[in-house]
Structure 1
Amino acid sequence: MSVIPLPVGGQIVFDRAELEHVLQLYGRMVAAGEWRDYAIDFTNRQAVFSVFRRASERPEFRLIKEPALRMKQGQYSLIGEAGQTLKRGNDLASVLAPAARRLLKLAD
C-alpha cells in the first residue's frame, strides 16, 4: 500500500494542465450554448468541477479528482446529473470523452 502525499494545506486541487483541459471543454460548451456556469470545490479528499446549464439547477456533469483512488479505479470520475458514474480512469481526456462527444452531437 502506497501513501499519497497531500498538497500543502491538506487540500486536493486541480493542477494547471488539468484545469486548462477542463476549461477548454467548458469554453466550447459555453460557445455552443449548452453550459452557462461552473463551480469548483476543494476538500482534503477530492477536488470537484461541476458544470451547470443554469445556476439554479443540479450540475449536469461533475468531474471529481480523488487521488486516493489512483491505484484502484482511477483518480478521475465523471458523474452525470442523476448521480450515475459515466466514466472513471487515470487519463483525464478519456474521462471527459462522454462530455466531449455530446459537443459533437450538438454540432451535427
Structure 2
Amino acid sequence: MGTVTPFPLAPGRPSQVGFERLELNRILDLYGRMVAAGHWRDYAMDLGREAAVFAAFRRTAERPEFRIEKRPALRARQGMWALIGEHGAIVKRGHELGPVLAPVERRLLKLVEG
C-alpha cells in the first residue's frame, strides 16, 4: 500500500503543456477585465501534449471569440504564443505573451471608452 508507481513518460518530452503561474495570471487578468466590461462570459482551457489553449467566449454555446495558444515546439520559429480569432485566423503570433495580447487589450479600451 505504501508503494508509489510513476506513470511511464517519453524521455525528454513533457506529458502535458501548461501555463506558468505568471502567464495564467496575465491571461486571467485580461479575462476578468473583459468580463467586467460585459463582453466575455465564459472560458475554457485545454492542456494537451502539443499545446495549452485558453479560449474566451461571449456566450457559452458558440465558438470562442479568441483562443490564446502556447505551443513550445514553435519557440525557435515564429514564437510559441498565438492569438487566434473566432474563425481560426491567426491574429498575432510572437515570442512574448504581452504583445500577443495587445489586440485584445486595445479592444478592451474601445469597449470601456465607448
User: Which one of the candidate residues 54, 63, 68 is aligned to 1:58?
Assistant: 63
Number of residue pairs aligned between Structure 1 and Structure 2 = 102
CA distance in 1, matches of 2:24, 2:13: 18
CA distance in 1, matches of 2:50, 2:69: 10
Task: State the Cα RMSD in Å.
Answer: 0.8
* 8 Å contact from structure 1 (residues 59, 81) kept in 2: yes
Q: TM-score, normalised by structure 2?
A: 0.87
Q: What's the % identity of the aligned pairs? A: 59
Query: Could you give the per-residue CA deviations for residues 67-95 of structure 1, whole angstroms, max 9, x where no partner exists?
Result: 00000000000000011100000110100
Question: Which secondary structure state, in structure 1, belongs to the residue aligned with residue 38 of structure 2?
Answer: coil
Which residue type is aligned with residue 48 of structure 1? Answer: V
Question: Which secondary structure state, in structure 1, belongs to the residue aligned with residue 99 of structure 2?
Answer: helix
Which runs of 4 or more aligned residues in structure 1 lie more than 4 Å from their structure 2 counterparts after TM superposition? none
- Give how far 1:107 is off: 1.5
Which residue type is aligned with residue 40 of structure 2? Answer: W
Structure with bigger gyration radius: 2
Gaps (5+ residues) in structure 2? 1-11
- Give how far 1:6 is off: 3.6
CA distance in 2, matches of 1:6, 1:23: 27
Question: Which secondary structure state, in structure 2, belongs to the residue aligned with residue 96 of structure 1?
Answer: helix
Gaps (5+ residues) in structure 1? none
Which residue pairs with 1:49 in the alignment?
54
CA distance in 2, matches of 1:78, 1:48: 10
